[in-house]
Amino acid sequence: MRKLILLFGLSMLLANCEVSEEKGLIVDKAMVVSARQEASKIGSEILKKGGNAYDAMIATHYALAVVYPVAGNIGGGGFMVYRANDGKTGALDFREKAPITAHRDMYLDSLGKVVKNKSILGANAVGIPGSVAGTFEVHEKFGTLPFKELIQPSIDLARNGFKVTEKQAKSINSATEKINKVNNYTTLFEKKWKKGDLLKQEELAKTLERIRDFGKDGFYRGETADLFVNYVTNLGGIVSKQDLEKYEAIWRKPISFDYKDHKITSMTLPASGGICLAQILKSIEPFDLSNIDHNSTKYIQLLTEAERRSYADRANFLGDVDFVKVPIDSLTDTNYINQRMASFSWDKATPSSEVSHGKVLGYESNETTHYSIVDQFGNAVSVTTTLNTGYGSKVLVKGAGFFLNNEMDDFSSKPGVPNVYGLIGSEANSIASEKRMLSSMTPTIVEKDGKLKMVLGTPGGSTIITSVLQNIINVVDYNMGMQESVNQPRFHHQWLPDIIKMEPNGFKKETKRKLNTLGYEILEKNSLIIGKVDAILVLPDGKLEGGADKRGDDTAVGF
Ligand code: DON
């Protein structure tokens, strides 16, 4: 019943563009917010047992790989940003890599044209997964409970099954045709799913047991690696045993910067999130938002113009720093940013063609997932992980029961040709052997006065950065609570295409009309604003408030 009321509340909110002041779950000590109740619960139980946020990260990650196969994964990758209770911050890159034999033009035909869907669907789209290596890195550095205890609840869940939700049934059903097309056997996903059906994944349970028993080698070597490489090879892909054996997650220095009186820590390259977030927030900082209404014409104008300039830089400069030189300091320098914003005018939109050049195309349905964790010791963990689009390449490893990513599409297949999110890339993000593809993922942590304030992140492809941005501004500038902030209608601009994407019915007619007059083109479509923000706010009394995005089945659990 409570769920019904909440859903009703959200649809009323989106229909009437009223600000909901709804509170999220409030707890005293510790919390996990993720895309599924089962996963948040498993993570929270680990915390209750005395585990820390890093232990809970591992447990939550594997649980999502079972209960949220659209994006939760062992066949994908992601990024973690953390803030330990002593204030130290850090970041882990467990992003996928291009296979050793990958090369710049691998998605082009003999005439140099991009072959449709080759980087999106099937075995050719697969990057070398990083998730399992990521969890072992986290465990080695910070874990306190035995790994076996952290993964066992997910093994049980895979074996005994869980009930699919209504949204999930719809999501799986919409993917079965492609899953069927890509695989050479009938996978367990290929039936008509409905709410309440039990999904049991015995092959996945066995794969997770091999990870439990043999550690990282349970995935990157031995039986799992054999099944993985043989199947992908059978389907015409290029992943080799050597690719799997060589994969390493990498600890990186996160991007840290000040916004007003807050310190923001977010992911660095190969994720563009931290750099873009820094650019956009610094572009906005000189403007007095206390005189600008939330989601008003002026507000949307200001954010849009800052976003436009940042996404143009993203397309031109950003790529894997282990392969290309990226002028991170210059790009986030305040003088540089002020210069970029010098052409901004309240009187009319700056056309993207005047900011830089490019061409534009279409979209498909996407999924990634984010989870936020704060433990009873004060450690915070922010993780975004993905297979890229929903169910990734749709390849479900025969005999091992897990989906493989299609992260290769995040590379620029050809300079100037947009990827599935309409993002354009340059040489900096071209394909090379063992290179990491550029990401928009933005796991973020905010602190104030040296204390933890907020942990947040979201899926949403190119809209990830702008959804995280809007939630930071909602809380920092407009003083919203966490759930209230997550509930707000969102909009997005990414330089190209030169349009503002808006959640339908979330914005006033008059606001949209004024924006049109100023030269902004608006596209209202639900599927385009796909973020599901899962966040935690530390309240002034030290309690934690969860913000679980009701656009999905996302749930906060804690104590
Ligand atoms: O790394 C990236 O930017 C994309 N692969 C993320 C994909 C995504 O968020 C899909 N989501 N809903």
pLDDT tens-place string over residues 501-511:
999 989 999 99
Ligand 1 atom nearest to 440, measured from its CA: 3
**C-beta 534 within 6 A of ligand 1:** no
Hey, is 559 helix, strand or coil? coil
14: pLDDT confidence band, cut at 50, 70 and 90? Answer: very low
Mutate to test the pocket of ligand 1, among 318, 441, 462 (most ligand atoms within 8 A of CB): 441
12: pLDDT confidence band, cut at 50, 70 and 90? Answer: very low
**C-beta 295 within 6 A of ligand 1:** no
Task: Give yes or no for residue 527 having a pLDDT over 80.
Answer: no
Structure tokens at 176: 């079965």
Task: Give yes or no for residue 391 having a pLDDT over 70.
Answer: yes
Instruction: Please state which of the ranges 275-284, 327-336, 548-557 shows the lowest mean pLDDT.
Output: 327-336
Per-residue pLDDT reduced to its tens digit, 338-364: 999 999 999 999 999 888 732 222 333
Euclidean distance between CA atoms 180 and 519, whole angstroms: 45
> In the chain, what is the straight-line distance between the N-terminal and C-terminal CA atoms, in Å?
22
Q: Residue 92's beta-bridge partner residues? A: 80, 251
H-only helix segments in 257-323? 273-284, 297-317
pTM beyond cutoff 0.75: yes
Euclidean distance between CA atoms 513 and 259, whole angstroms: 31
DSSP 242: H
Hey, is 102 helix, strand or coil? coil
For residues 397-424, average pLDDT: 94
Task: Give yes or no for residue 321 having a pLDDT over 60.
Answer: yes
165: pLDDT confidence band, cut at 50, 70 and 90? Answer: very high
Q: Residue 500's beta-bridge partner residues? A: 522
Euclidean distance between CA atoms 308 and 284, whole angstroms: 12
Per-residue pLDDT reduced to its tens digit, 20-63: 569 999 999 999 999 999 999 999 999 999 999 999 999 999 99
pLDDT for residue 424: 87
Q: Please identify which residue in the block is written with the tokens 């113009």.
A: 305
Per-residue pLDDT reduced to its tens digit, 300-313: 999 999 999 999 99
Q: Which residue has a Cα nearest atom 9 of ligand 1?
A: 461
Task: Give yes or no for residue 221 having a pLDDT over 50.
Answer: yes
**C-beta 410 within 6 A of ligand 1:** yes
Ligand 1 center from residue 254 Cα (angstroms): 19
Q: Which of 544, 533, 454 is nearest to 489 (CA)?
A: 533
Ligand 1 atom nearest to 272, measured from its CA: 3
17: pLDDT confidence band, cut at 50, 70 and 90? Answer: very low
**C-beta 367 within 6 A of ligand 1:** yes
Mutate to test the pocket of ligand 1, among 386, 463, 526 (most ligand atoms within 8 A of CB): 386
Task: Give yes or no for residue 316 having a pLDDT over 70.
Answer: yes
Rounded to an integer, what is the distance from CA 268 to the centroid of its chain? 14
176 tagged catalytic = no
449: pLDDT confidence band, cut at 50, 70 and 90? Answer: very high
134: pLDDT confidence band, cut at 50, 70 and 90? Answer: very high
Residue 415: φ, ψ to 5°? -55, 135
Ligand 1 center from residue 509 Cα (angstroms): 30
pLDDT for residue 21: 62
Ligand 1 atom nearest to 462, measured from its CA: 3
Query: What residues contact 528, with CB distance under 8 A and at least 6 apart?
Result: 363, 463, 492, 501
Question: What's the mean per-residue pLDDT of the chain?
Answer: 93
Mutate to test the pocket of ligand 1, among 421, 462, 467 (most ligand atoms within 8 A of CB): 421
**C-beta 307 within 6 A of ligand 1:** no
Residue 80: φ, ψ to 5°? -125, 135
The one-letter amino acid code at 387 reads L
User: Of 135, 187, 297, 368, which one is the catalytic site residue?
Assistant: 368
**C-beta 530 within 6 A of ligand 1:** yes
pLDDT for residue 8: 40
Ligand 1 atom nearest to 459, measured from its CA: 9
**C-beta 369 within 6 A of ligand 1:** no
Ligand 1 center from residue 358 Cα (angstroms): 21
Ligand 1 center from residue 305 Cα (angstroms): 23
Q: Residue 128's beta-bridge partner residues? A: 97
**C-beta 425 within 6 A of ligand 1:** no
Per-residue pLDDT reduced to its tens digit, 53-109: 999 999 999 999 999 999 999 999 999 999 999 999 999 999 999 999 999 999 999
Per-residue pLDDT reduced to its tens digit, 281-300: 999 999 999 999 999 999 99
Ligand 1 atom nearest to 384, measured from its CA: 9
Structure tokens at 515: 């924006």
Q: Which residue has a Cα nearest atom 2 of ligand 1?
A: 439
pLDDT for residue 128: 98
Contact criterion met (CB below 8 Å) for 36 and 63: yes
